[in-house]
Structure 1
Amino acid sequence: MADNHATFRFYEELNDFLPQAKRKREIGYPFHDHPGIKDSIEALGVPHSEVDLIIVNGQSVGFDYPLQDGDRVAIYPMFESLDITPLLRLRPQPLRVVRFVVDVNLGKLARMLRWLGFDTLYRNDYQDREVVDISVNQQRIILTRDRRLLRAKAVTHGYWVREVDPERQIKEILTRFDLRRQIIPYARCQECNGLVGVIDKAVVLSQLEPKTIRYYNKFYQCADCGKVYWKGSHYSHMQAKLLHLLEDAKL
């Protein structure tokens, strides 16, 4: 039988990681000795990378806090768009330039983020260790559908994507990180994440089909992979989708 007992309460989207019976309510937690509070949070099912603030008995604490008998613990998610100083944050200040690394299961989301101008690294052969290393070394937020990936000790910025449909996913990310005012559409290559800029038609003439040469005059090219873009028949559809995403910001 456990010697000690604490009470935990998780807030907002952290409840997504809990069984239905434990959501949005106090959870009794029996334990021996004095485990680190980080280990206790993960034992309850919540990845530490999703947590930004821990309040124990009314005081903010760090991940190294040793759990005590009778502690009342409140756990809050990342506050990417809020300033919660002078409370003790559990990671560096929110990333001012938001950059992502996306795991192998979210390829369509990666392309949509690039389309909207967000610096997004993605390959369909990334190993979990690579994703973590890129996140740590380049200060990128991990986006994943794999909760286990976010439990890696080295991860400081990560987010578990709740939605399954790519169009719902992009809305989720724009809302979660308050990104709609940072959208710069068509600024990045959807294929490789390189920056896209205007290119003279004569320079890319050899890469174009005869009808494209005949009907279009303004072209853009990725500085990294060389892919050429222009406002073809698909452009109006993409513009409509973009306007829909921006309209959601007013709701």
Structure 2
Amino acid sequence: MTRPEHRPAAGERLRLHVHVPDELRFFLPTRLRRRAGGQEGVYCPYDGTSSLGHVVQSLGVPLTEVAGLRADGEPVADSHRPADGAHIALVPVHRPQPLPPSAPSPPRFVLDVHLGALARRLRLLGVDTAYRNDAHDPELVEQANAERRVLLTRDRGLLRRRTLWLGAFVRGSRADEQTTDVLERFDPLLAPWTRCPACNGPLAAVAKEEIADQLPPGTRRTYDTFTRCASCGRLYWPGAHHARLTARVDAARRRGSWFR
């Protein structure tokens, strides 16, 4: 597969004409973005044997972000081998994204090592979120497949792994932006304050008398409401950061996601 160019070189036959919608244009190399979605589109040399999915990914667009492909107006699979000069259109993933029948409901996720802040935000909202800061790419794919978790990442190479059952590119560089993106794309069921931000285990109310000897003196005097993680044993109470965390939960509520 030759490298995509904006226009064919002199004397070179134009092979494919690819139209990329606004939602996906940021994946393209800078030199291609301005014309990709317009009348002109992206001109892409084609070797005649590569699949259309390979062509799309060679332009920088992960197939996880594409709901459908059209060749000369007709829906085609990513394994399709287009004819010379075909007009190709990419259809972006619909939001909220419908998941395959084999996906658990509500959806659950596994995040790559660079999304630790997002993992804590999702757990705060009660979303089942697996995360380890030392997990290697093959481990992430294996866990996603075995547990039917959606793999969330900003690594396009990770999303190109053929064995991955389902993944998604996370938009945004800040945790707030990333949280908004995931909630809008998957609309997961939210149950704030029910998961441990540290390990993803379930939280349950615990009597103060039962854990009083584990509390700092100031906390024991000031607070009466506590929860404990059933997995790691961490204790939680509405401390100094509670107002900030509550604001994040309220922001998620305003985005329209639904709650238990």
**What range describes the TM-score normalised by the shorter chain of this pair?**
0.7 to 0.9
Q: How far does the alpha carbon of each residue in 1:25-67 deviate from its partner, in whole angstroms, 9 at most, with x for none?
A: 3112221233211111111111122222112222222121122
Rounded to whole Å, the distance in 2 between the matches of 1:232 and 1:68 is 63
Rounded to whole Å, the distance in 2 between the matches of 1:27 and 1:3 is 14
1:18 to 2:33 alignment? no
Indicate the SS of the match to 1:163. Answer: coil
1:76 to 2:91 alignment? yes
* 1:168 alignment partner AA: E
Rounded to whole Å, the distance in 1 between the matches of 2:247 and 2:49 is 56
Q: Residue 193 of structure 1: which of 194, 197, 200 is its match?
A: 200
Indicate the SS of the match to 1:76. Answer: strand
Instruction: Specify whether residues 93 and 7 from structure 1 end up closer, same or farther in structure 2 by C-alpha distance, changes over 3 A only.
Output: farther
Instruction: Specify whether residues 144 and 124 from structure 1 end up closer, same or farther in structure 2 by C-alpha distance, changes over 3 A only.
Output: same
Give the C-alpha shift of residue 171 in structure 1.
1.9
Instruction: Specify whether residues 9 and 156 from structure 1 end up closer, same or farther in structure 2 by C-alpha distance, changes over 3 A only.
Output: farther
Q: Residue 208 of structure 1: which of 198, 207, 215 is its match?
A: 215
* 2:19 alignment partner AA: R
Specify the alignment match of 1:27 in structure 2. 42
Calculate percent identity across the aligned residue pairs. Answer: 34
Rounded to whole Å, the distance in 2 between the matches of 1:227 and 1:210 is 17
CA RMSD of aligned residues (A): 2.3
Contact kept? 2:171, 2:177, Cα under 8 Å: no
Instruction: Specify whether residues 75 and 143 from structure 1 end up closer, same or farther in structure 2 by C-alpha distance, changes over 3 A only.
Output: same
Specify the alignment match of 1:64 in structure 2. 79
Matches within 5 A, 1:1-251: 5-23=15-33, 24-25=37-38, 26-81=41-96, 92=100, 95=103, 96-179=105-188, 182-249=189-256
Give the C-alpha shift of residue 200 in structure 1.
2.2
Rounded to whole Å, the distance in 2 between the matches of 1:195 and 1:71 is 52
Specify the alignment match of 1:86 in structure 2. none
Indicate the SS of the match to 2:228. Answer: strand
Indicate the SS of the match to 1:31. Answer: coil
Indicate the SS of the match to 1:192. Answer: coil
How many residues align? The count is 241
Rounded to whole Å, the distance in 2 between the matches of 1:94 and 1:57 is 32
Contact kept? 2:16, 2:85, Cα under 8 Å: yes
Gaps of 5+ in 2: 1-10
Instruction: Specify whether residues 136 and 11 from structure 1 end up closer, same or farther in structure 2 by C-alpha distance, changes over 3 A only.
Output: farther
Please report the TM-score for the alignment, with normalisation by the length of structure 2.
0.83
Gaps of 5+ in 1: 84-90
Contact kept? 2:71, 2:82, Cα under 8 Å: no
Rounded to whole Å, the distance in 1 between the matches of 2:198 and 2:183 is 20
Give the C-alpha shift of residue 112 in structure 1.
0.7
* 1:103 alignment partner AA: D
Rounded to whole Å, the distance in 1 between the matches of 2:252 and 2:109 is 19
Rounded to whole Å, the distance in 1 between the matches of 2:26 and 2:14 is 27
Instruction: Specify whether residues 245 and 81 from structure 1 end up closer, same or farther in structure 2 by C-alpha distance, changes over 3 A only.
Output: closer
